[in-house]
Structure 1
Amino acid sequence: MKKTFLLLFLLGLSILSIKAQSTQDYILANVNHAQYLMQQYQLPASIILGVAIHESAAGRSKIAKYLNNHFGVKGANSNAEIQSAYRDYPSVDSSYSHFVSFLQSRKYFNVLFDQYDQYDYKNWARGIQRGGYAASRTWATQVIAIIKKYELFQYDNRPEGYIEPINPPEAPSRKTLAPKKNKIYTIKPGDNLSTIAKKNHTTVTSIMRKNGLKSPALKPGQKIKL
């Protein structure tokens, strides 16, 4: 009985060791490309790896195995082995590269490249969550926990003595932002769309589109949205 218990205990330890090692293997297999992307775009390698580990279960998820999708990006795929709402990639590296281009192509994420440097993984995680990358309110906390657990920040090449920025107050997510109200302007004698657009930092095309105008002609007393 004691021998059986000991064998089961050792087997449990062995399984835990294999799981931990598989995540480490995943990191070692992908860290070079993550660092390459960091050097090119100043996005922390720790964030790239942390998000990938979280979204793909360190490469063990079904969409990672069958679709090379390591970041949970949805889209069409041509894979006949599984039915999935997630897009496929020709390689793991292409999934990693697309993650960065995805962030750059969305205005809610693109601003982060100007706000944070390649060492500030905590604010990057919070910023990506605020942009609506995931529905979970604890998504950023989970990614940060992964980065800390596996010390992924060591791959960010932080300068000696680097001090992490003080976390700014949490900004509302794009889903909770109040809709912007249109300003109403009353046309005065001598007004034209060009001068109105310049004074209000907009364009003639935008004003015409908002007001359904087919002609730039205006009448005194007419009210338009800006």
Structure 2
Amino acid sequence: MKSVLIGLPGFLGRNWLRVIIIGVTLVVINRKQVNFNVSFGAPGGQEVTPASSSGGESSPSVFTAPPPEQQTLNGATKSGPTPAQTSVVPEASALSMISGLFSGPKEKVAVQGEATPAPGSTEQPAAAPGFLERIGLAGATSPFQPKLVDDLISTDEGTVAAYIRRFSHVAQSEQKRFGIPASITLANGLLHTLAGTRGSAQQLNNYFAIPCPGVWDGPCRNLENQNLRQYETAWLSFRNHSLYVTTGRFAPLQQFGPRDYQKWAAGLEELGYNGTPDLRKQLVTTIEQYELYRFD
């Protein structure tokens, strides 16, 4: 025994790395065993302690599994989640987080209280949007409603042509008086009433979807989820449109002159005309589709 103790320092000096590795391994195995024991005694079953015997000594606790009718195919009970659903091993959690940063989500982990597909179902839970999708860098589609210009192009060509013939001279007259490109006036009316086919034009003579708020003493009416101005004639609608886009917050548009429909279109969008999304592109597309610039 004495010789062993004398040789021990030398042995440790030569094999210290192996000793440390063996020690760490034993500690990890011991902690895993403790976790397993604790999980085994979790809510999946219950302890039943029989009544004390007449000798005053109590019998040891006995672990009993849930009744067969409470068990599912995976061993989970109906009365509550299993340990695998409610506990997460720290090492596995960290590993999953790191792998998810590079490879993306592989599967959705069940969370207590969250609806999951039934066993055997082919239904997959909806994937949460990724980071690039949330900040708009993954080619996500626009949340805006279908564009007015698409509906206009789908409108009967004869209806569009009739609208242009009817109002082109009115638009040119407004251009001479207010400096608004006739193409802008025609395109704005075509877009917002689909060539005069919408209720705002047919029932209210409002050819530009001009809302009631603002300097307006005339009647208003709720139509198509908007509070719109109502006019006695179509001509009054065109005249009020000219006043509307050359005064107030739209007054700076007059600096662009009566020929630059591109800048007028961009300015109307920038100043928020009727809240119409992507208005510049829609106006320019309409003008070029029907060659409305020939009236400027």
- Normalised by the length of structure 2, the TM-score is 0.44
Q: Which residue of 1 is the match for residue 201 of structure 2?
A: 64
* Structure 2 residue 247 is the aligned partner of structure 1 residue 110: no
Cα distance 1:23–1:131, how it changes in 2: closer, same or farther (>3 A)? same
> Residues 26, 110 of structure 1: CA spacing in aligned structure 2 closer, same or farther, 3 A cutoff?
same
RMSD of the alignment, in Å?
Answer: 2.5
Aligned to 1:50: 187
Given that 1:69 and 1:87 are in contact with CA atoms closer than 8 Å, whether structure 2 keeps it comes out as yes
Give the aligned partner of residue 148 of structure 1: 288
Q: How many residues align?
A: 139
Cα separation, partners in 2 of 1:111 and 1:65, compared to 1, 3 Å: same
Over 3 Å counting, the alpha-carbon distance change for 1:148 and 1:90 in structure 2 is: same
**Offset at 1:80?**
10
Kept in 2: contact 1:66–1:81 (CA 8 A): no
Structure 2: how far apart are the matches of 1:52 and 1:85? 17
Following superposition, the deviation at residue 140 of structure 1 comes to 1.2
Per the alignment, residue 38 of structure 1 pairs with 175
Residues 90 and 82 (structure 1), Cα distance of their counterparts in 2 relative to 1, 3 Å cut: farther
What one-letter code is carried by the residue in structure 1 that aligns with 2:250?
Answer: F
1:87 alignment partner in structure 2: 229
Q: Which has the higher contact order (CA 8 A, sep 6+)?
A: 1
Q: How does 1:53-202 map to 2 (within 5 A)?
A: 53-75=190-212, 77=219, 85-106=227-248, 108-114=249-255, 116-156=256-296
Letter in 1 for 2:194: A
Distance 2:245 2:158 in 1: 30
Query: Per-residue deviation at 1:74?
Result: 1.3
Give the C-alpha shift of residue 79 in structure 1: 6.4
Work out whether residues 231 and 237 of structure 2, in 8 Å CA contact, stay in contact via their aligned partners in 1: yes
Cα distance in 2, alignment partners of residues 80 and 129 from structure 1 = 24
Shift of 1:17: 10
* Paired amino acid for 2:286: I
Check conservation: 1:66, 1:79, Cα contact below 8 A. Answer: no
Q: 1:28 to 1:136 in 2, by over 3 A?
A: same
What SS does the aligned partner of 1:100 have? helix
Q: CA offsets per residue over residues 110-131 of structure 1, 9 Å max, x none?
A: 01102x1111001101001111
Deviates further, 76-85 or 48-57:
76-85
Deviation at 1:87, TM superposition (A): 1.1
Instruction: Evaluate the alpha carbon distance shift between residue 17 and residue 61 of structure 1 in structure 2; reply closer, same or farther with a 3 A threshold.
Output: closer
Distance change in 2, residues 1:83/1:33 (3 Å): same
CA distance in 1, matches of 2:223, 2:283: 30
Distance 1:119 1:92 in 2: 24
Structure with bigger gyration radius: 2
Residues of 2 paired with 1:55 and 1:47: CA distance?
12
Distance 1:101 1:60 in 2: 24
The TM-score normalised by the length of structure 1 is: 0.57
Task: Give the partner amino acid of 1:66.
Answer: Q
Alpha-carbon distance in structure 2 between the residues aligned to 1:112 and 1:19: 32
The 3 A distance-change label for structure 1 pair 18 and 149 is closer
Structure 1 stretches of at least 4 aligned residues deviating more than 4 Å after TM superposition: 78-84
Structure 1: gaps of 5 or more residues: 1-15, 157-226
